[in-house]
Structure 1
């Protein structure tokens, strides 16, 4: 995947019951190919999810290179076998609803959002901002 030419999948997309996994796969593959562009891997959302799954970004990157999406999904399911549905729902909510957590982050967030579309004051989460930036909302 070349993220200098196309966007990664939305953080809203799920795989193995978890939001953001498909996006992380895209970023891991792009990082491996040196085509990450301006994207960050691992970003703070990636780190939240990696901690939940119980792996580091190097291990996730390695499996993302050696497996197709179905293989990565099976691997993630195996890693999360000890998690129940409630835990999966909680991490999804935490990821999808994460907002800037201090005044400096809010200022950065608003500057980016307002630079894209100042009328979209309804966008107040990082995932919302990502989808706005990438033209999905």
Structure 2
């Protein structure tokens, strides 16, 4: 995957019940290929997913390197990730998708990135929405 010419999958894409997993796979593949461009792996969102799953970046990177397709990574993930009740996973997914800036400094960065893409979108409050907006995906207006 060449993230210098294309975007990773949206954080909203779900694999094995987890949001962000598909995006993390795409970014890891790009890092392994040296084609990550401006994307960062592992980033803080990746770290949150790996901590929730009980895995390390080294383990995940080795699995992505070993398995050339999503199905292989998913099988590995299913076998190693800390199991969670569906309600807990659903809550974690909601948290990830609604998570926004947590400090004034992060809010300023968020506003700067948003304003560079579309300053009229002051309705956006989550990093997931901002990523989708930056990458040209449709983001519904929020009330």
* TM-score w.r.t. length of structure 1: 0.95
Contact 1:97 1:126 in 2 (8 A): yes
Q: Does 1:4 align with 2:12?
A: no
- Asked if the contact 1:13/1:20 (under 8 Å) is kept, the reply is yes
Q: Which residue of 1 aligns with 2:48?
A: 48
Instruction: Give the match for residue 131 of structure 1.
Output: 132
Measure how far apart 1:79 and its partner are. Answer: 2.6
32-41 vs 85-94, which moves further: 85-94
Once residues 105 and 12 of structure 1 are traced to their aligned partners in structure 2, the CA distance between those partners, rounded to angstroms, is 21
Per the alignment, residue 112 of structure 1 pairs with: 113
- 1:72 corresponds to which residue? 73
Instruction: Note the C-alpha offset of 1:77.
Output: 2.1
Moved more, 25-34 or 89-98: 89-98
RMSD: 1.1
| More contact order relative to length (CA 8 Å, sep ≥ 6) | 1
Structure 2 residue runs without a partner (length 5+)? 139-143
TM-aligned CA deviation for residue 64 of structure 1: 1.1
Q: Secondary structure of the equivalent of 1:87?
A: helix
Which runs of at least 4 in structure 1 moved beyond 3 Å after TM superposition? none
1:96, distance to aligned residue in structure 2 (A) = 0.8
Cα distance in 1 between the residues matched to 2:91 and 2:61: 24
| C-alpha separation in 1, matches of 2:78 and 2:93 | 15
Measured after TM superposition, the shift of residue 81 of structure 1 is: 5.6
Q: Count how many residue pairs are aligned between Structure 1 and Structure 2.
A: 137
